[in-house]
Amino acid sequence: MKRILTMAIVLILAALVPAVAQNAAELKAKYEASIKLAIAAPQDYALNWKASEAARRYGDFLVTEEGSGWKDAARPLAKDGMKFAEIAFKINANGIEGWYWYACSVGTYSDCVSVLTALFEGLKDKTQKGFETSYKLDKTFDGGGPILGLGRFWQVLPSFYGQDRKKAEQLLNEYIALESSRPDVGSNAWYYRGQLYKDTGRAAEAKVDLQKAVSMGNKNAIRLLAEMK
């Protein structure tokens, strides 16, 4: 079974190589252009949050693709995402974009350096505030991103930093209930919930969600499901 899953992902990735290369170039170009505009207008709310979004989207793409040296490449992008988002929410604390893209950027940064490193650097409180504020302002923003992000936040926190799997599960359930019918919905929600089910001793439920994520091409779900066989 492991061999079948491995072959499946290899075939999927091989078919996507041209599109991936084009997407990377487009994301890089948008990031570079957005950063230049934000630097030239440090008091412009929209240009700064858009620079943060562009940095985070490019960084997240590199994390997802896991190419050579992806951690070193994505880490400075995530830091740019945090930097410009913080400028944005300081300009306009009532706008959702600065808070949301700040928290998302910390998530990408954590992928590069580890959750514990991000916590040791004192990023927990602002990340929590970013997701909680964006959830209160508009939880449907970015396709329900504040719901998913806040759920993942409570899920990945170490227990001694306040992990709350009950909150995480409630939020992941909320996200799937509200967003699963969208044609462009991502696979992460099912991977996250499958991982949560596995970690709380519900193997059967975990496999159902992980298989759903696998069917959508989620590489992390493929690995986790293979470990459970």
What mean pLDDT, rounded, does the chain reach? 91
- Asked if residue 107 and residue 81 are part of one domain, the reply reads yes
Where does the pLDDT of residue 19 fall: very low under 50, low under 70, confident under 90, or very high at 90 and above? very low
- Asked if residue 126 and residue 25 are part of one domain, the reply reads yes
- CATH code, 193: 1.25.40
- Asked if residue 94 and residue 167 are part of one domain, the reply reads no
Where does the pLDDT of residue 186 fall: very low under 50, low under 70, confident under 90, or very high at 90 and above? confident
Q: What are the tokens at 226?
A: 């293979």
- Asked if residue 161 and residue 123 are part of one domain, the reply reads no
State which of 138, 155, 181 marks the end of a domain.
138
Is 52 a member of any domain? Answer: yes
Which residue range forms the structural domain that includes residue 197?
140-229
Is 13 a member of any domain? Answer: no
- CATH code, 68: 1.25.40.10
Is 8 a member of any domain? Answer: no
Is 4 a member of any domain? Answer: no
185 has a pLDDT exceeding 90: no
- Asked if residue 27 and residue 134 are part of one domain, the reply reads yes
Is 11 a member of any domain? Answer: no
Average pLDDT over residues 159-173: 96
Q: What is the pLDDT of residue 3?
A: 52
- Asked if residue 95 and residue 160 are part of one domain, the reply reads no
- Asked if residue 199 and residue 127 are part of one domain, the reply reads no
State which of 94, 119, 138 marks the end of a domain.
138
- Tally of domains in the chain: 2
State which of 85, 120, 138 marks the end of a domain.
138
- Asked if residue 153 and residue 112 are part of one domain, the reply reads no
Of residues 85 and 12, more confidently modeled: 85
